[in-house]
Amino acid sequence: MTAHHIPASPGPRVAARGVRLRVRGLRAALPLDGAVRTVLDDVNFDLRRGERLGVLGEDDAALPLLARTLTGRPAPGDRVLAGTVTLADGPGRAPAEAGKPASGIALLDPAAPVLPHTGPAPAGTRVLVTVLTGFSADEAGARTDRLRALAPALEADGTALIVIGGPFGAVAGLCDTLQVVAGGRIVERGPAAELRARPRHGLTTALRTGDGAPPYGSGTGRGCFFAAHCPQGRGHDRCLHEVPGPTPFGSPYGSVTVKCHRPAPAAVLS
């Protein structure tokens, strides 16, 4: 387990199922503003058989890079510095070594009029990744509806789905589990129903209320990435200068873990 690993429950629908995908220690960089900057930092998570995982947060850099790294489809300038991606029934691979699409992990375009195969995924696929960043709320919502229509077929063969980006409400309504990325790190993870009802991290609350994520690079570079934008943390020395560690919370849906010095465990949004 690494320093930034966030153990938390998946949604209750899939909590008892076996792990299909393990991501450990993923760290990746991009050329931004004339320098190579780390935009994914020690990303760790498990994905269970048939699980639908939503990844929300910084749409402009971190989330698209995560999708490219998982599927083995790097763009010019992508640099994967560390980490492994391991399918439960296959060998692990170092994303930095990936020069071709990853075996068992496929990119899905839910807007395609006809899927290029007879089932929900190509033969041998265990995980589908779809990206909803860069679309209007209406278009992302329409794509989420298409994913919901595909869900029974995915469930039938145990294919897991990772939805990267998109409107908070639509993604939370589709997925079993949510994880929120800030400063390149997973800062909150747990059952989607719990994060939708009681967000504990300031960024999760902002996404839930439609305020969205601040642009990448708008943090101080020290402490909590979200401190400058957080009503709870703004002005607090610890938030500005100390990177928060993981704090677990129980919930009716399963455990939630959040990296925040001043989490809001009682926050309930209507």
* pLDDT, tens digit, 9 for 90 and up, residues 121-156: 556 788 999 999 888 889 998 999 999 998 998 898
Q: Which of 8-22, 104-118, 166-180 has the lowest mean pLDDT?
A: 104-118
Rg (CA), the chain: 17
Question: Is residue 177 a contact partner of residue 51, using CB atoms and an 8 Å limit?
Answer: yes
The C-alpha angle 270, 218, 44, rounded to 5 degrees, equals 70
Residue 14 half-sphere exposure, CB side, CA atoms within 13 Å?
A: 26
Hey, is 137 helix, strand or coil? Answer: helix
Distance CA 93, CA 231 (A): 41
> Between the ranges 112-121, 171-180, 230-239, where is the mean pLDDT highest?
171-180
Distance CA 46, CA 205 (A): 24
Per the DSSP assignment, residues forming a β-bridge with 191 are 177
Q: What is the pLDDT of residues 42-76, one digit of tens each?
A: 899 999 999 999 999 976 788 999 999 998 888 89
Mean pLDDT along residues 16-21:
92
The first and second tokens of residue 3, run together, are 């320093």
Distance CA 97, CA 243 (A): 30
pTM for the whole thing?
A: 0.89
Residues with Cβ within 8 Å of residue 92, at least 6 apart in sequence: 22, 84, 85, 86
Question: Is residue 108 a contact partner of residue 71, using CB atoms and an 8 Å limit?
Answer: no
Per the DSSP assignment, residues forming a β-bridge with 162 are 53, 129
CA dist 89 to 20, 21, 49, 63, 154, Å?
8, 9, 11, 26, 18
Hey, is 50 helix, strand or coil? Answer: coil
> What is the residue extent of each domain of the chain?
19-92+99-259
Residue 166 half-sphere exposure, CB side, CA atoms within 13 Å?
A: 28
Is the per-residue pLDDT at 180 higher than 60? Answer: yes
2, with CB counted inside 10 A (0-12, 13-18, 19+), is exposed
DSSP H helices in the chain: 62-71, 137-157, 168-174, 192-197, 202-208, 237-241
3 versus 84: which is more confidently predicted?
84
Q: Which of 135-149, 157-171, 256-270 has the lowest mean pLDDT?
A: 256-270
Distance CA 249, CA 258 (A): 8
Q: Report pLDDT for 235.
A: 74
Distance CA 52, CA 75 (A): 25
> Looking at domain 19-92+99-259, which of 2.40.110.10, 3.40.50.140, 3.10.20.30, 3.40.50.300 is its CATH number?
3.40.50.300
Q: Report pLDDT for 268.
A: 44
- Residue 69 has phi, psi (to 5 degrees) of -70, -45
For residue 81, the Cα-to-chain-centroid distance in whole angstroms is 19
